[in-house]
């Protein structure tokens, strides 16, 4: 088994002790130092040049993200593994961008720490399944927000805006209104045929990526381009 020299940085002594027990149970692995704050972690990493630094995010003086960045610059051969309780996709991204190769949660310490240390020592990335899920959820949420922004910025003509504006009022004035009823309500107000309203509505929904009258009305209300009573 490859011999490894490891530095543990966490402001909680119990966490450092727990990590130390897991690490030193592996043959040939040695904890060469401990640090209780971020600045001490960087100083000891530069002085000791360990193979791996296990670092918490929320530490005094320097947080784990800044520790990872400074270690990457000061001791490029040392690999950084984040061990934290922070379950945020943004925090994971910040840590990886700063140079950390791995990110695991303290709840996974006993099960995953040794595997994570081994992986990052070999220059591999390591994320626990839960952290991977957090990252994926964040990615999907960000993609959804981008898509909503793109739909909101779709080019709507003045006539289409008029139709969108009148939709909630038509919905309000007719009980159990359907799409066809809404079209019939709007057409005479604009002096156009029902068929023309249908054509415009179909184009609007295609542009905005919407699939129902309810979605279209919600869009109109959310973007402040609709009336509630439709009597303007």
Return the pLDDT at 227.
46
In a domain, 198, yes or no: yes
131 and 68 in a common domain: yes
111 and 202 in a common domain: no
Return the pLDDT at 120.
94
Contact 21, 47 (CB under 8 A): no
In a domain, 16, yes or no: yes
User: Which among 61, 68, 58 has a CA at the least distance from the CA of 12?
Assistant: 58
Return the pLDDT at 45.
96
Q: How many domains does the chain have?
A: 2
- Return the CATH number at 91: 3.40.50.2300
In a domain, 152, yes or no: no
Return the pLDDT at 177.
42
9 and 121 in a common domain: yes
Which of 139, 167, 202 is where one domain is finished? 139
200 and 124 in a common domain: no
Return the pLDDT at 41.
96
Residue-number span of the structural domain to which 54 is assigned: 4-139
Name the β-bridge partners of 84: 105
24 and 115 in a common domain: yes
174 and 64 in a common domain: no
Q: Count the alpha carbons within 13 Å of 133 in the hemisphere toward its beta carbon.
A: 5
40 and 123 in a common domain: yes
- Return the CATH number at 206: 1.10.10.10
Return the pLDDT at 162.
81
119 and 33 in a common domain: yes
Query: Hey, how many other C-beta atoms are within 10 angstroms of the C-beta on 9?
Result: 29
Q: Exposed, middle or buried, 3 (CB in 10 Å: 0-12/13-18/19+)? A: exposed
Please give the DSSP secondary-structure letter assigned to residue 36: S
In a domain, 146, yes or no: no
In a domain, 173, yes or no: yes
- Distance, CA of 177 to CA of 163 (rounded, Å): 16
In a domain, 149, yes or no: no
78 and 17 in a common domain: yes
- Distance, CA of 18 to CA of 24 (rounded, Å): 10
Name the β-bridge partners of 29: 4
In a domain, 190, yes or no: yes
135 and 56 in a common domain: yes
Sign of the CA dihedral running 231, 159, 223, 211: positive
Which of 74, 107, 139 is where one domain is finished? 139
Contact 97, 120 (CB under 8 A): no
In a domain, 202, yes or no: yes
135 and 25 in a common domain: yes
Return the pLDDT at 229.
41
- Per residue of the chain (232 residues), what is the pLDDT tens digit? 578 999 999 999 999 999 999 999 999 999 999 999 999 999 999 999 999 999 999 899 999 999 999 999 999 999 999 998 887 777 888 888 889 999 999 988 888 899 999 999 999 988 887 777 766 665 556 555 555 555 555 667 788 878 877 775 544 433 444 455 677 878 888 888 888 888 888 888 777 777 777 777 777 766 666 544 434 3
- Distance, CA of 146 to CA of 109 (rounded, Å): 35
Which of 139, 168, 188 is where one domain is finished? 139
97 and 169 in a common domain: no
- Distance, CA of 153 to CA of 215 (rounded, Å): 16
């Amino acid at each position: 088994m490859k011999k490894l020299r490891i530095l543990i940085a966490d402001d909680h002594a119990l966490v450092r002790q727990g990590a130390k027990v897991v690490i030193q149970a592996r043959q040939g692995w040695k904890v060469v130092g401990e640090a209780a704050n971020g600045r001490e972690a960087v100083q000891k990493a530069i002085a000791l040049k360990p193979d791996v630094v296990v670092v918490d995010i929320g530490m005094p003086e320097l947080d784990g993200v800044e520790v990872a960045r400074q270690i990457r610059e000061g001791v490029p051969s040392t690999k950084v593994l984040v061990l934290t309780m922070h379950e945020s996709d943004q925090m994971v991204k910040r840590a990886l961008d700063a140079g950390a190769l791995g990110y695991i949660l303290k709840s996974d310490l006993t099960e995953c720490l040794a595997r994570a240390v081994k992986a990052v020592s070999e220059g591999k990335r390591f994320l626990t399944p839960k952290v991977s899920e957090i990252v994926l959820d964040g990615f999907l949420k960000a993609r959804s927000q981008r898509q909503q922004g793109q739909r909101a910025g779709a080019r709507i003509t003045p006539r289409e805006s008029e139709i969108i504006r009148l939709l909630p009022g038509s919905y309000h004035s007719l009980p159990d209104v359907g799409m066809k009823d809404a079209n019939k309500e709007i057409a005479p107000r604009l002096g156009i045929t029902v068929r023309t309203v249908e054509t415009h509505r179909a184009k609007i929904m295609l542009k905005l990526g919407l699939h129902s009258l309810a979605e279209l009305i919600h869009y109109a209300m959310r973007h402040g381009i609709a009336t509630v009573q439709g009597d303007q």
